[in-house]
Structure 1
Amino acid sequence: MFAVYRPQYICEVEGLLNNPVYRALLLGDKHLGFGTDKVRAFDETVSPFAGFEESYSKGFEDLYDLLPPARKILYATPNIIAQPKGWQILHEVKGRQFVFEAGDTSASSSFDLVPLREQHVEQMMQLAALTKPGPFGPRTIAFGHYFGIFENERLVAMTGQRLHVQNFTEISAVCTHPGYLGKGYAAALVQHQVNLICSGGQHPFLHVRADNERAISLYQRLGFTVRGPMNFYFMRKQ
């Protein structure tokens, strides 16, 4: 079975995925965050992401007032921004946003893909710290649908979901222990997420570092196409 998502939803994508963090905090992941109708942030134990309405010029000012001292945030935007007043940019990552366009949504895996639960969180955090797929905290698992591959009771690969933006669901935390690369684990886990998301009537999307050629090649092979830039700014409240 193949899914094909074409220009009929371009307007919908433009309206939602240009600002996926804020939209997720208003929609599918509202229960994991807090704020106002203009600016919102996730609980820090879930994710450092924070965002605000695209046209709202006081977004960073309101976030400054909303959040506690020294709170770190991750802000995602297709644009290049200057350091906002009251905030220190600690790190900038140039990324790309990919959307699933066409591919097999029924392929099964020969690997044992294990649903990850609370008892696995420590191993999940250790794997994320080693491979650095993005921020991963003690409650990141609350985004849901995490699966992993174990060898000798050791978690060696995983992926899950993160932002839920109306009809779009983000695949995230795609990581494999360096000692287990080349076995097809990441491909199997991402394909499983594609199947799961599409079976629920959603469109998969994901983000990747612009310089991560290995991951980009994998995603393109699985049916993802680049939609455009998505830059990530790690900041700390001064």
Structure 2
Amino acid sequence: MNHILDNPAWNALISGNSQFSNGTEQVKYFDKEISPFIGMAEYTAQNFQALYELIPHDEPVGFVVPEVIQIPGIWRVLAKINAFQMVYSQPELPAGTLTDPVPLVEKHIPEMIGLTKLTNPGPFSQRTIELGHYQGFFEKDKLIAMAGQRLNPSPYAEISAVCTHPDHLGKGYAKQLLLSQIQRIIAASGTPFLHVRNDNERAVKVYEHSGFSTRKEVYFYFIKKTK
């Protein structure tokens, strides 16, 4: 794993997300209310053992790697998800959005959790909003689309939780949110990237049309301590 994005959670926890980092020099994790993601300098049996002893809860945790790996028996594999890791590859900023999205704040958290439970864009918890820069669109005071930032393996910033209520698909909300996030990240001298399930053809096309290209296929593992 030579490229920073080959181990995005670990590199986020030692750089752009270090203020949320717990752990040791080899194993780190977010508070579970922020994110289930953990990172290891190397995904070895020794480090999986250290994580087992270190992490203070029995909730599922997840990580991202560029190859299939063996998980020690002290952990139960709940899911392995094949995904594409996509990086914004255009030399210029995209054109502005038609309508500026609304910044999302603490009072919006219940609606954000409800929307992510309905649409399942990935893990979203009570304090995930603290990772920053969440925006959304509303209709009749109801949140109908949102996106924000998750992992920040500097200088890369991951656009995440891109989701639209099923009743409002096809109206361009996801693309407008993507463009807003891309502009913000590039303005801060970062490089946008994201992850998408490799079988989500609709989303892949949206991301490609928005200027992203696939860098690599990666694997999301979600695991839980065995009792």
TM-score by length of 1: 0.91
Tell me the residue number matched to 2:158.
170
Alignment partners' CA distance in 2, 1:69 and 1:140:
17
Which AA in structure 1 matches 2:181? Answer: Q
Alignment of 1:112-191 (within 5 A): 112-191=100-179
Cα deviation, 1:157-180, whole Å, max 9, x if unaligned, reads 000001111211110000000000
Q: Is the Cα–Cα contact under 8 Å of residues 45 and 72 in structure 2 kept in the other structure?
A: no
Alignment partners' CA distance in 2, 1:157 and 1:88:
34
Alignment partners' CA distance in 2, 1:234 and 1:109:
35
Q: Give 1:76 deviation, angstroms.
A: 1.0
| Pick aligned residue for 1:39 from 10, 27, 34 | 27
2:194 matches 1:202: no
Q: Is the Cα–Cα contact under 8 Å of residues 16 and 152 in structure 2 kept in the other structure?
A: yes
Structure 2 SS opposite 1:145: coil
Runs of 4+ more than 3 Å apart: none
Change (3 A) 1:92 1:177: same
Number of matched pairs = 226
Q: Give 1:69 deviation, angstroms.
A: 4.8
Q: Give 1:106 deviation, angstroms.
A: 4.5
Alignment partners' CA distance in 2, 1:54 and 1:41:
14
Tell me the residue number matched to 1:105.
93
Q: Give 1:218 deviation, angstroms.
A: 0.7
Q: Is the Cα–Cα contact under 8 Å of residues 197 and 204 in structure 1 kept in the other structure?
A: yes
Tell me the residue number matched to 1:61.
49
Alignment partners' CA distance in 2, 1:55 and 1:130:
32
Cα deviation, 1:36-62, whole Å, max 9, x if unaligned, reads 010001100000001101375522111
2:96 matches 1:71: no
Which AA in structure 2 matches 1:84? Answer: P
RMSD: 1.5
2:73 matches 1:85: yes
Q: Give 1:63 deviation, angstroms.
A: 0.4
Q: Give 1:71 deviation, angstroms.
A: 2.8
Moved more, 100-109 or 185-194: 100-109
Alignment partners' CA distance in 2, 1:41 and 1:213:
31
Tell me the residue number matched to 1:8.
none
Over the matched positions of the two proteins, sequence identity in percent amounts to 42
Moved more, 46-55 or 163-172: 46-55
Q: Is the Cα–Cα contact under 8 Å of residues 148 and 155 in structure 1 kept in the other structure?
A: yes
Q: Give 1:103 deviation, angstroms.
A: 5.8
Alignment partners' CA distance in 2, 1:42 and 1:235:
15
Alignment partners' CA distance in 1, 2:44 and 2:72:
14
2:211 matches 1:223: yes
Which runs of 5 or more structure 2 residues have no equivalent in the other structure? none
Alignment partners' CA distance in 1, 2:33 and 2:205:
31
Q: Is the Cα–Cα contact under 8 Å of residues 66 and 218 in structure 2 kept in the other structure?
A: yes
